[in-house]
Amino acid sequence: MSSARTTIDFDRHGKQIGFIDIAHSPHEDAWGATRIPLAVIKNGTGPTVILEGGNHGDEYEGPITLGEMIRELDPAEVSGRLIILPALNTPAVGAGQRTSPVDGLNINRSFPGDPLGTITQQIAAYMDEVILPMGDAFLDLHSGGSSLNIMPSAAIEPTPDPVLRKKNIAAVLAFDAPVTVVIDNLGDTRTAMATAVRHGLVAVGTEMAGAGTVSLDALGICRRGVRNVLAHLGVLPPTGATPKSRPEMILRIPGPEGFVLATTDGVFEPFHALGTQVSAGQPAGRIHKLTDPSRPPEIVYYSADGIVYGRRQPGRVVPGNCCVTVAVPYEGDIA
């Protein structure tokens, strides 16, 4: 049985702000707890929408947007219930890291978790066993973090259920990001989005720039997009905005060939900006061995035709680091 507990009453109307406490007994705190911020805003009848930020601790646009919503949203505006977790992996958020400094785990590769496991596994288990079963829809707000800069976009999580797939696509298009991308993480089912879909929730993901900074453009897109989706779901009043039809900007990552990986250690020099049209076999960049000037840089190549969707932010790479991600046109049904 999990040690997680909260004083929040999920069924009470109004606005509540508190924490999920998970018992944690490290060297410096015998009887302490890891505290995960939690807010519930409930009014009237309507769907329950779960909003998550801080899944990775170095991705900032989502937590900023959700923190503002917690402070500013009047419960009278809500028709239904919002369950908001702006800093889900609190240890990682506090450290500004993708993974938890406590156990080294990436929570977005830890679902369904373990209620008797490490802190990251316990947080994932609480989401899987307590939070997600209460929901009708799920917003998972990511950006590229410290290691990637990604075109600001909304993400569709694949599902074999045709009804849920149609609902997912409609909700993601309602977000009205400049680009929409189908992302399946190479079929990895340990993510929050994949878990939400397994629970039957309408799921909307984002990738809001990154590079370890706060992008003003991406933050604006995130603020508007979250409210657009909540209006689409009927939890907030209509925004009055009509989503732009961008069929040419619905993309997908085509699998392993969509990733350009470092082949050696050194400093990566990219050849193309985000959004550039590229071709398979074309040089993507080169890796310089700065301590051996007699050695020519090693060129890495694209394996797919498409556009540059994401690009590594730190210059330094080691073999296997993702240098560039390519996205290709999505050819599935979006009706």
Q: Which of 143-157, 233-247, 283-297 has the lowest mean pLDDT?
A: 233-247
Task: Give which of 207, 130, 222 is closest to 176, Cα–Cα.
Answer: 222
The identity of residue 109, as a single letter, is R
Within 8 A by CB and 6+ apart from 217, the residues are 152, 209
Distance of CA 172 to the CA centre of its chain: 13
Confidence of residue 245 (pLDDT cuts 50, 70, 90): low
pLDDT-based confidence at 246, cuts 50/70/90?
A: low
Distance CA 151, CA 274 (A): 7
Phi, psi (rounded to 5 degrees) for 127: -60, -45
Whole-model pTM: value is: 0.93
3-state percent breakdown (helix, strand, coil) of the chain, nearest 5: 25, 30, 45
The reported pLDDT for the residue numbered 248 is 58
Separation of alpha carbons 272 and 276, rounded Å: 6
| Geometric angle at alpha carbon 125, from 120 and 128, rounded to 5° | 130
- Collapsing DSSP to helix, strand or coil, 275 comes out as coil
Which residue carries 């696509």 as its tokens?
Answer: 169
Domain covering 5-252 in this structure, CATH number: 3.40.630.10
Q: If you average pLDDT over residues 77-102, what whole number do you get?
A: 97
Residue-averaged pLDDT of the chain: 94
Nearest residue to 41 (alpha-carbon basis) of 67, 86, 80, 5 = 80
Q: How many other β-carbons are positioned within 10 Å of the β-carbon of residue 88?
A: 29
Question: Burial, 248: exposed, middle or buried (Cβ in 10 Å; 0-12, 13-18, 19+)?
Answer: exposed
Distance of CA 318 to the CA centre of its chain: 24
* pLDDT score, position 30: 85
Residue 74 pLDDT more than 80? yes
- The model's confidence at residue 249, banded by pLDDT at 50, 70 and 90, is confident
Give the CA angle between residues 103, 106, 107 to the nearest 5°: 100
pLDDT score, position 333: 65
Percentage of the chain with pLDDT > 90?
Answer: 87
Domain range list for the chain:
5-252, 256-329
Write the pLDDT tens digit of every residue in 178-229: 999 998 888 899 999 999 999 999 999 999 998 899 999 999 999 999 999 9
Q: Classify domain 256-329 at the CATH topology level.
A: OB fold (Dihydrolipoamide Acetyltransferase, E2P) (2.40.50)
Q: Per-residue confidence at 330, pLDDT binned at 50, 70, 90?
A: confident
User: If you average pLDDT over residues 230-248, what whole number do you get?
Assistant: 79
DSSP 244: P
Nearest to residue 109, comparing CAs of 22, 35, 195, 24?
A: 195
Q: Tens digit of pLDDT for each residue in 103-161?
A: 999 999 999 999 999 999 999 999 999 999 999 999 999 999 999 999 999 999 999 99
